[in-house]
Amino acid sequence: MLGFSLPAMILMGGIALASWLVSSRLKSKFEKYSNLQLRNGMSGQEIAEKMLADHGIRDVRVISVEGQLTDHYNPTDKTVNLSEAVFNQRNAAAAAVAAHECGHAVQHATAYRWLTMRSSLVPVVNVASSYMQWILLGGILMLRTFPQLLLIGIVIFAATTLFSIITLPVEYDASNRALAWLENKNMLTQEEQAGAKDALKWAARTYVVAALGSIATLLYYISIFNNRR
């Protein structure tokens, strides 16, 4: 009863395969567009700073951080954090990422409701990530004697699933803002714009797969709880 059923194994395997395929495709896309040099010669840092300025945002800093795929916007200290490659390079991939992260800064400045909702869940998710797996494991092991523990784990997991779902409109909106600005300001050539759009499309799909995986896992734990007898 506690093991993975065949349908659950097929579902989880399918999601894992989709995640791998999307991640691999994303990597190849970014490698491709990293070789598409911008005709305007601007770096990711310069792209980001101009987008912020064009939106009248003066209190957000653009900084460089170590690592790969570490790009993010931090609403707490109002910083657009760009990985070293994105910060310094002058290609379509760097432009796409830099503008996307600034899209989050624009969301913050305009009190975009989905970003506000996601930000309110961050403390809950941070705490949940530290204890959730242990609670779920304990809940499964003690299912017959203390089923309430698994129920607690399910509630906590549901919060992280909600976070994944809310992330979808946040990420898609940030990409739409980025692409609209790049196009309206004629920052890129048609080829570069198409490359930026393609790269962000595949980046967004990673969040879709993550949300689907979280939903499927949540349903699996719920099924275990419902079938405990």
- C-alpha distances in Å from residue 19, one per residue of 46, 196, 200, 210: 32, 21, 16, 7
Going across the sheet that includes 72-74, the strands are: 61-65, 79-83, 72-74
DSSP line for 7-69? HHHHHHHHHHHHHHHHHHHHHHHHHHHHTSB-TT---HHHHHHHHHHHTT--S-EEEEESSSS
Alpha-carbon gap, residue 138 to 155, rounded angstroms: 14
Strand 79-83 with 72-74, pairing: antiparallel
**Nearest-5° angle of CA 65, CA 122, CA 182?**
50
- Nearest of 153, 51, 162 to residue 96 by alpha carbon: 51
Alpha-carbon gap, residue 99 to 96, rounded angstroms: 5
Q: Is 101 a catalytic residue?
A: yes
- Amino acid 186 reads N
Among 31, 49, 66, 101, the one annotated catalytic: 101
Catalytic residues, by residue number, are 101
